[in-house]
Structures are given as structure tokens and as C-alpha cells.
A and B are shown apart, each in its own frame.
Chain A
Amino acid sequence: MAVSQDTPISRRLSHIKHIIIVCSGKGGVGKSSVATQLALSLYTSSPNVRVGILDIDLTGPSIPRMLGVDGHGVHQSSDGWVPVYADASDARLACMSVGFLLKKKSDSVVWRGPKKNAMIRQFLGDVRWGELDYLVIDTPPGTSDEHLSLLEHLSPARDRISAVIVTTPQAVALIDAMKCLSFTRAVNLPVLGIVENMSGYVCPCCGEVSNVFSTGGGQEMARKEGVPFLGALPVDTELVALLDAGEAMRGEGSGSEIPDGEFGLVKRYQGTPSARLFGNVVNVWEDLPPRS
């Protein structure tokens, strides 16, 4: 379409080097958790890297909770909305979600397509992301309004977008993940790979591995469809607790081993078993050729 046109969105996007869309046909497979881990891992990959995370799940935003910035507000500046910085003063991990715009956490956002479309346009055009090395975009389940609008608005940055598909290993989830893959093919969105989440659970008492939601499904799908397999992440209760209670743990920060002012979440994340596994996943992006 109008690639060469100078729009507010294309101006903002021109400062972003890589855009990563995290998607999955199915809900609750860990898109937000993978998006968060991806952002945290990229964040720690180099001391100067700047990462943004945009949550376009408008009716069920989870990113604020996971990054421990629940209840923060967005400020307006002369140059657009200021995103919430999860790492406070460092300002290298910017975050934007509809969750920051709600008066109360339990307020529902009951919007039909056109309204959602307008919100996504604002997120891309009005947020003052600044210079970013990576923008990770967390999407809602399905292949509908949000996804179509997102890709439409991202068209000025066509050459810098890639997707990662998250699935869990059971058949019911794989069918939806397959739909998501068909979607990416229909819209010509390059898929960097498939992540198999919740693949096995290690019993804390006896160490026995249980395949709570079966196992190997994502890998099998990647093989059949000729898409790179980025790895299998087991259910990590430490990670679940960390992302679930981000805020509470941060609040208690003064008494614990993490000094005030430091970005505690990323330190704690590096201690979880998932962080080590995720290191391999992130290498895929670090190997991408740099773009100006």
C-alpha cells in the first residue's frame, strides 16, 4: 500500500529496528508470558539495547501484571504518550497496554472492531517509543480485527516484521496454532519459529516429569510445516509465580536481596530455569541482520 507515505505511524516506526509479533490462535498458551520473556531476554542481551513491548490484547491485557507495572498510568507529553518504563530510571524497557488506560483493573473494555482498530492505530502512532532495537507485540487469541488492523498499520515497516507462534502441545491447541500459521501465510508475515510452551511439568516432590498437556506437538507441527522450532519450555512454577506476583515482589524489594531502584524482575527472571532455555530462543533475533 502507501509505503512511502509519511504518516504519524510510519514516522514512529522508522525508529524501530525489529518488530516481533507474538501470536497464537489459541488463548492461554502463554503468548504474554513468552512476549514478556522475550522482552526481558532481549533487554539483558546487551547493556544498551532498548526494548519496547506493546500489548494489543485490548479486552484482556496481561502484560502490565507480568512486568509488575500494574496500576501505572500513561502520561501525555508534547511528543505523544509516554510509555511506562518497567525498569524505572534506566528507561530501556518501555511498555504500553490498554491496561494503563483503565480506571479500575476490573473495568471491562467492551469494544467492537472499529474501536479496537482506532486504539491500535493510536498505540502505533501516538506512543513516544523513541529509538528502539526491538518492539515485541503481544496479541490476543484468534485471527481477527486486532491482527488484521495491526498488520495494516504496520505496513510501512513491512521488511522489519517477523512473528513467533506460541502453542501448547495438545491437539486442541495445535489446531488453532495451525490456523494462526495459515493466517501468517495468507498475509505474508515471515514466521521465525514455533515455541512449544507448557511442555511437561516436573513434580516438585519426586522429580517425575508429567506431560500435563501432552508433549512434542509443537515440534511435530514445526517439522511438518517446515517452520523452525525454537524450543520447548516446560511448565515453570517459579516463572508463573514471578510473572503473576511481579508487583507484590517488587513492592517488598527493600527488604530482599535486590536493592531499591534496580530492576528486580529481570534479576529474578534470570534465576528461573526458563530464562536459561529462553536464551536459545532469543539468539534467533540477535542473529538477524541489523537494519537501519
Chain B
Amino acid sequence: MLAVQQPTSVPENAPEHCPGTESELAGKSAACAGCPNQDVCASGTTKGPDPALPLVRERMTQVKRKILVLSGKGGVGKSTFAAQLGWAFASDPDVQTGILDVDICGPSIPTILGIASEQVHTSAVGWSPIYVQDNLGAMSVGFMLPSPKDAVMWRGPKKNGLITQFLKDVDWGTLDYLVVDTPPGTSDEHLSIVQLLKESGIDGAVLITTPQEVALQDVAREIDFCRKVGVPVLGLVENMAGFVCPNCKGESQIFRPTTGGAARLAKEMGVELLGSVPLDPRIGKSADYGVSFLEEYPDSPGTTAYLGIIERTCLRCRLA
């Protein structure tokens, strides 16, 4: 079903030509000779669906809407947008929101939400999310590292294991929105989250880009990915779109849309352009200090742009 290179189920320490644990040939091919797990594979128990799936489904029955924040390119503002989206949802005290950070190697959500020093607690019902406010919880690998300096040097299977745990073990309670922040690219993390949430249904993905062609190319690939795996694209957000000099108020384009920017890409790929956010140094500063830009600078053009985009995202989400 997924247009993915087979096999997807080759363990990290598998022999060279391992057919994959879910393959018909598992335990039977020539490469399996001598592998310590040959008997397990040959017995057929590895071919069934992932045993975590029913548990994930169980947890996710309590989550009304699941939104992915994606971008092929790094550093375009995925985490910042995910955090603003979370804050905007949570501004309504009756709405419960969760933010899940599946960027395992570079988690930014803890810093952006201002909860970087927190640690995860485990209870009988699962891992408790870290709460920014009563109705806004977050989960990230950043809460599990002894020091923020520590690198997570994991290959795919380990990252997938943690993402599975995030989805089945985190005690979110009842949520109106679960915003999933992802790493750049189209690889293990993305495949895992999509496969694990397939049954519970993903409402859609918001794609973030910056105006220059190098970023647009990566985002075009991400749209292609969404189509391959069947995730609806809610729309495209153009970030860092123009810079207003605080001194002379003149606007200039730092990341020049040499090829037409996000508007052209949206048109070409047939997706909606949800809006453009100007490049405002205060947005980055708010993220560094872990405060909500929307609340700190309610009158700035950036806030107006964000709120418009978030409104359109919700609208698209309800229609989807």
C-alpha cells in the first residue's frame, strides 16, 4: 500500500540481505542461514500486524483531531508553527490540546514552549505529558535526556520504537487536538507516525516552507510523500516571507522568492496557500525564551498572519 522501498522491516543488526521480518521469505531465504533470529522469523509470528497498533488505536480514540506539521526542509519554522498552533488552540479554556514532538535527534518543542528543564513522570496509566498550562500538554524526547547537550545517536528502528511508545504510552487524557511536530525529511519518523496513526485517522498535514527555491523543492517532495501515503494536505504556510527593518520600516526579501515562492508551488501542486508569515526577529526571540509570540505581541503583523492561518487550518480540518 505504501510506495516505500521494501523491505521496511529489516532490523538494525540484520545480516546483509535480510528479507525483512514481515516478508514471505522471513527465516527462509539464504541470507537467514546463521541468523540467531531465524527460528523466530520462520515461525511466522513476526508477520502479523504490529502488536502496538491496537494499543495506539485505544489511546487515540480519545483524541478528536490529529494534525501533522511537516516540511521537507529543516529550519523553516515547523516547531515554531506547531507551538503557535498549540497556544492558539489552548487560548480557549475548553479546548484540550497536546503537542507531540517526534523529532528525536533535534527536539525543539521543549525550548519553544519554555519547559526545557522538565522531566517526564511515569504513572500507572502511562507517561504524563508536561503541561505548559492546564489545557496544553507536550511530549518530546527532550524531556528524557539527562542534559540538553546529549546527542541522540539512534538509527531508525530505535526512533520508531520511541514514537510507538509516545503514541501508546503517553497519558494524554481526552484531547480536542493533537499537533504532531516532525523532523525534516521523509524518512523513518514520518513513515512510522503515518503508519501508526493510519487506523485512527490523521485529519491532515500543514506544510511549512520558506520562499526560496531550495526550500520549495523539498516541500514539493513532502507533498508527494503525503499523497503517496494518503495523508490529506490541509495547506501550505509560507514562513520568513519578508523582513520589515525595525529602523526604516522598509520591507526587504531576505529569502527571495526567485521562482514565485509558495504561491507558485501551491498552485502547481494544487494545494491551498494558508498564508504568509513575515520574518520578524521577535518570533525567533519568543521561541528562544519559550514564550507565546501570539500573547507577547498581539498587535504585530506576524500575529495577525498566524491567527489567519490557524483559522483557515481549523476550517480546512473540519471540512476534511
Contacts and interface: CB of A to CB of B under 8 A. Distances in A.
Given A170-B287, A182-B150, A214-B285, A106 B106 contact: no
A245 B258 contact: yes
Interface stretch (B32-40, B54-62, B173-181, B223-231): B223-231
- The SS class assigned to the B binding surface is loop
**Range of interface residues on chain A?**
35 or more
Nearest to A212: B281
Interface stretch (A1-9, A73-81, A200-208, A277-285): A200-208
B105 A105 contact: no
A112 to B, nearest CB: 5
A58 to B, nearest CB: 8
B247 A208 contact: yes
A59 interface: yes
Interface string A161-198: 00000001011110110111111001100000000000
B153 to A, nearest CB: 5
Contacts of A66: 214
B183 A107 contact: no
A210 B249 CA distance: 12
A108 B279 contact: no
Given A28-B74, A172-B79, A186-B153, A144 B159 contact: yes
A235 interface: yes
Given A144-B154, A175-B108, A178-B149, A106 B217 contact: yes
A165 B222 CA distance: 26
Contacts of A108: 72, 186, 221-222, 224-225, 228
B184 A240 contact: no
Interface string B38-82: 000000000000000000000000000000000011111001000
14 contacts: A26-B106, A28-B73, A59-B186, A65-B213, A105-B220, A106-B217, A106-B224, A110-B3, A111-B4, A141-B106, A142-B104, A142-B106, A176-B108, A206-B248
Interface of B: 2-5, 8, 10, 12, 14, 72-76, 79, 104-106, 108, 111-112, 148-157, 159, 183-188, 190-191, 210, 212-215, 217-218, 220-225, 228-229, 243, 245-248, 250, 252-256, 258-259, 269, 279, 281, 284-285, 287-288
Closest 5 CB pairs of A and B: A27-B74, A28-B75, A142-B105, A113-B156, A205-B250
